[in-house]
Amino acid sequence: MSGREVSGHDVGRDVPEKPEAVYFFGTCLVDLFYPEAGMAGMALLKSQGIRVIFPPDQTCCGQPARNNGWFEQARAVARQQIKCFPKPIPVVVPSGSCAGMMARHYPDLFAGQPDEAEVRAFAARVHELTWFLVHVCRLTPTDHGPPVTVAFHGSCHSQREMGVRDEPRQLLRALANVTVADLQRPAECCGFGGTFSVRQPGISAAMARDKVTDIATSGAGEVLSGDCGCLLNLSGVMERTGVPIRARHIAEFLVERGLAGETRP
Amino acid sequence: MTPETRTATGTPRAAFTGKAPAALNDPRLRANFRRAMDGLMAKRAAQFADPAEWAALRARGTEARARALAKLPELLERLERRCTENGIVVHWAETPAEANAIVLGILQAAGARRVIKGKSMVTEEIHLNAHLEAHGITTVESDLGEYIIQLAGEAPSHIVMPCIHKNKAEIAALFAARIPGQGYTETVDELTAAARRTLRGEFARADAGISGVNFAVAETGTLVLIENEGNGRLSTTLPPLHIAVTGIEKALENLEDVPPLLSLLTRSATGQPITTYVNMISGPRRPGEKDGPHAVHLVLLDNGRSRIYGDPELRDTLRCIRCAACMNHCPVYTRVGGHTYTFTYPGPIGKILTPQIEGLDCAGDQPHASSLCGACAEVCPVQIPIPELLVRLRGEAVHPGPAAVAVKGGGSGYTLFESLGWRCSTLVFTSPRLYRTVGRLAGWFGTLMPGWLPPLNRWTRFRSKPRFARHSLHQLARKGGYDHE
């Protein structure tokens, strides 16, 4: 009926040639709460011989406004981002959710707008970090760390909007001393959902607690994710309920295991 | 739940939000739903183990439903013609009240006093049983799940398995209390035998049968009805009068559209390759035939569907074939159960359908009761973009579209406070220098922000306070030499 993409679809993205330079869109959550994750993401790209450009005028992808139905405001915020990334080079995002907003929802949000074509061209250049590391950089991370067991939580939007399925685990499996624990319900939402977490705090917390239980019983000493929204939610619940499991962005973990002391700024 | 609390009038806008805590704090309910949904998800997954077959079948099913909707006005006329030719009397109802009056009128004209019912969500939507009972007509639900909740005086909590919120022990206690001569037993065979004994008598005594419809085929005037217990077949063939009630969106163009959709429906719903019974009803008993009702009526209900149809994006809502896969896979539904949704249709499909039928002014919190995780759209056999439609409805709640196509109750969710919030955040996010300043201030003073401050207190009720980083990525990137062209 309508030609729009169903968000449940795995949509294969065209794999670009490994570029000489990329833009990095840090996301507001990483900027304000997890800057180390952003630095690690850029370090990983740099370690692959790619020049990383971080345009200082970037702010937020606009997803909160869009998800709450404030489309005009979301477009204004989106336009501010798009003009920060003018060159036809990839835009790498250390978040499947913010990448999904830019790659999947910007085109819908701008349907019928005068700058729709420009927005579509931009959206096609947006890539999630772990997907980019695996498919474009063909990164095989090295491991200099002690044996550990970790769990990986894939965000809903990374999986269902950006088609990031096995890529993060593929990176982790390449680390010799790292065991990746299986979760009971790896595809189930952690309950963050942006403003959902404050509009429906009880349901959100119930989902988060179930996810924490899943992680805690998996035997993992640490939980990794490619999305800082999930991390903020999970670590908040774990701190409150006294679950001694660290929550970190996967980029930070990969840098610590392999690049620590080398290219880490 | 009485019909009064379930209809639009007088229902608070945030009924869902108000009911959620009780459901979340009911460990038995939580366990019942978790167990049931886990089972349903596993059964469905086993059915669609081959992704290529799933994709191809899903594309066929989606095309058939989309095509039917694209031609809906024409198909409905054709359906009426073919049904009439087949001897089925077709009635049109714009509102639940009209539909109830039509059904009551047919029953009264036939002198019917006892009605046996097959499972039908549309009759739940219009609260038909209450209407008939109020006019002295006894209705008995014959689907086992519906029979159980009717005994308990409850509403369905799931559109395919209406009593999924109850476990065996609860049903055993209910039967012991409500079925004369029935002792307490948790043996499933004994419980079903008890229901069967009662229902057999009801089938024999019924003056009329009322059922729903899964698909109404315009090409042939055939009503397709699927079920597993045989109660649907008995309800539609044993009594002398059969009344089918359904929504106008159930029309299909051709008979050949039915097989792919049936396959998608049963495999998505219960993980069955096909249901035990597939009824193709094409008219009343003909001269010389030995069974079947003497009269068949079809009541086609609008109840806001035309309005939904008028919006090319929201129209996708009407593609639904009521398989319930969306709710089976929904992390929110699994935790709060169907009754929290207050209205007839729970889960993700309910969250987009209910606000459009009842109005955003009385179910406006439902589109927000989602983390937009997308699990529903991923399993929807007819590819309804549920998360996108949830977001669209969130938009309608604050900025209604043009009056001609506006969703009922559009704009009712607008508050000055929220509007100011989004305008302020937009100002910050569109002014890089201001944003960087705010980021620096957050690094210095963010930790001083009190956890009791709304809306942060809604976060800190269950989680520790988020900690702003001392230095933002903007600052670190500049120091690290990334901040350049």
How many angstroms separate the CA atoms of A198 and B53, rounded?
Answer: 40
Furthest C-alpha separation in chain B: 92
Identify all chain B residues contacting A67, using CB atoms and an 8 Å cutoff: 372, 391, 394
Q: Is the dihedral of CA B393, B395, B399, B402 positive or negative?
A: negative
pLDDT of residue A3: 34
Rounded CA-CA distance B15/B341 in Å is 8
Q: Tell me the two tokens of residue A27.
A: 């996301």
Contact B132, B114 (CB under 8 A): no
User: How far is it, in rounded angstroms, from Cα B242 to Cα B272?
Assistant: 27
For chain A, the farthest-separated pair of C-alpha atoms sits apart, in whole angstroms, at 54
Q: Bridge-partner residues for A174, per DSSP?
A: none
Percent of chain B with pLDDT over 90: 93
Domain with CATH 3.40.50 in chain A: 148-259
Decide: A216 and B36 in contact? Cβ < 8 Å. no
pLDDT at A9: 40
What SS3 state is found at A234? helix
DSSP of B125-136, one letter per residue? HTTHHHHHHHTT
Name every chain A residue with its beta carbon within 8 A of the beta carbon of B473.
26, 30-31, 35, 38-39, 54
Contact B430 A108 (CB under 8 A): no
Enumerate residues 6+ apart whose C-beta is below 8 A from B26.
none
Q: What is the pLDDT of residue B406?
A: 82
The pLDDT value recorded for residue A21 is 97
Spacing of C-alpha B146 from chain mean position: 15
Q: What is the pLDDT of residues B223-255, one digit of tens each?
A: 999 999 999 999 999 999 999 999 999 999 999
**Cis, bond preceding B455 (omega within 30 deg of 0):** yes
Tokens of B264: 């998608």
Residue with tokens 């680390």: A175
Q: Which of B269, B458, B247, B463 is nearest to B368 (CA)?
A: B458
Q: Helices (DSSP H) in B325-455: which residue ranges? A: 325-328, 331-336, 347-358, 360-363, 375-379, 386-398, 416-429, 432-445
Nearest-CA distance from A185 to chain B in Å? 10
Q: Give the model's pLDDT for residue B404.
A: 67
Across the range B302-318, mean pLDDT stands at 96
- Only one residue has tokens 């998996």, namely A218
pLDDT at A261: 43
From A67, A80, A193, residue closest to B430, measured CB to CB: A80
3-state secondary structure of B395: helix
How far is B464 from A237, CA to CA, in rounded Å? 7
Q: Do A66 and B376 touch (CB under 8 A)?
A: no
pLDDT tens, B285-307?
Answer: 999 999 999 999 999 999 999 99
The DSSP code sequence of A158-216 is HHHTS--SSHHHHHHHTSTTEEEEPPSSTTS--S-TTTHHHHSHHHHHHHHHHHHHHHH
Q: Which of residues 401-420 of B touch A (CB under 8 A)?
A: 418
Report the distance separating Cα A139 and Cα A160, nearest Å. 23
Q: What angle do CA A208, B469, B428 make, to 5 degrees?
A: 90
The pLDDT tens digits of the residues spanning B37-92 come to 999 999 999 999 999 999 999 999 999 999 999 999 999 999 999 999 999 999 99
A111 has a chain B CB within 8 A of its CB: no
The mean pLDDT value for B384-398 works out to 97
Average pLDDT over chain B, rounded to an integer: 95
Return the pLDDT at A12: 63
Average pLDDT over residues B431-440: 96
* Beta strand segments in chain A, E: 21-24, 51-53, 91-93, 126-128, 148-153, 178-181, 222-225, 246-249
Number of H helices, E strands in chain B: 24, 10
Handedness of CA A62, A21, A111, B368 (dihedral sign): negative
Reported ipTM: the value is 0.94
Torsion angle of C-alpha atoms B199, B203, B206, B211, degrees rounded to 10: 90
Pairing state between β B277-281 and B222-227: antiparallel
Best mutation target among A2, A4, A5, A6 (most B Cβ atoms within 10 Å) is A6
Per-residue pLDDT of chain A (265 residues; tens, 9 = 90+): 333 333 334 456 789 999 999 999 999 999 999 999 999 999 999 999 999 999 999 999 999 999 999 999 999 999 999 999 999 999 999 999 999 999 999 999 999 999 999 999 999 999 999 999 999 999 999 999 999 999 999 999 999 999 999 999 999 999 999 999 999 999 999 999 999 999 999 999 999 999 999 999 999 999 999 999 999 999 999 999 999 999 999 999 999 999 754 443 3
Neighbours of B7 (CB within 10 A): 15
The residues in A 171-200 lying below 8 A from B, measured between CB atoms, are 187-189, 191-200
CATH architecture assigned to A148-259? 3-Layer(aba) Sandwich (3.40)
Write down the pTM of the prediction: 0.95
Q: How far is CA B465 from CA A28, A122, A127, in A?
A: 17, 35, 30
* Mutant choice from B19, B453, B463, B479 vs A, greatest count of A C-beta within 10 A: B463
Bridge partners (DSSP) of residue B277 are: B227
Instruction: Using the Cα atoms of residue B166, residue B168, residue B174 and residue B180 in order, give the sign of their dihedral.
Output: positive
Set out the domains of chain B in order of their start, with CATH numbers: 48-153+206-306 (3.40.50.10420), 416-479 (no CATH)
Handedness of CA A65, A67, A70, A75 (dihedral sign): positive
Q: Which of residues 2-41 of A touch B (CB under 8 A)?
A: 2, 4-9, 24, 26, 28, 30-36, 38-39
Q: Tens digit of pLDDT for each residue in B173-199?
A: 999 999 999 999 999 999 999 999 999
Instruction: Name residues whose C-beta falls within 8 Å of residue A183's C-beta, 6 or more positions apart in sequence.
Output: A151, A152, A153, A214, A215, A218
Cα B265 from chain centre: 14
Q: Where are any strands of DSSP class E within A109-169? A: 126-128, 148-153
Side chain identity at residue B155, one-letter code: A
Q: How far is residue A129 from each of residues A99, A158, A163, measured CA to CA in Å?
A: 9, 10, 12
Min Cα separation A108/chain B (Å): 9
Name the minimum distance, in Å, from the CA of B174 to any CA of chain A: 29
| Contacts with B439 from chain A: Cβ below 8 Å | 31-32
B312 interfaces chain A, CB cutoff of 8 Å: yes
| List of chain B residues whose C-beta atoms are within 8 Å of the C-beta of residue A214 | none
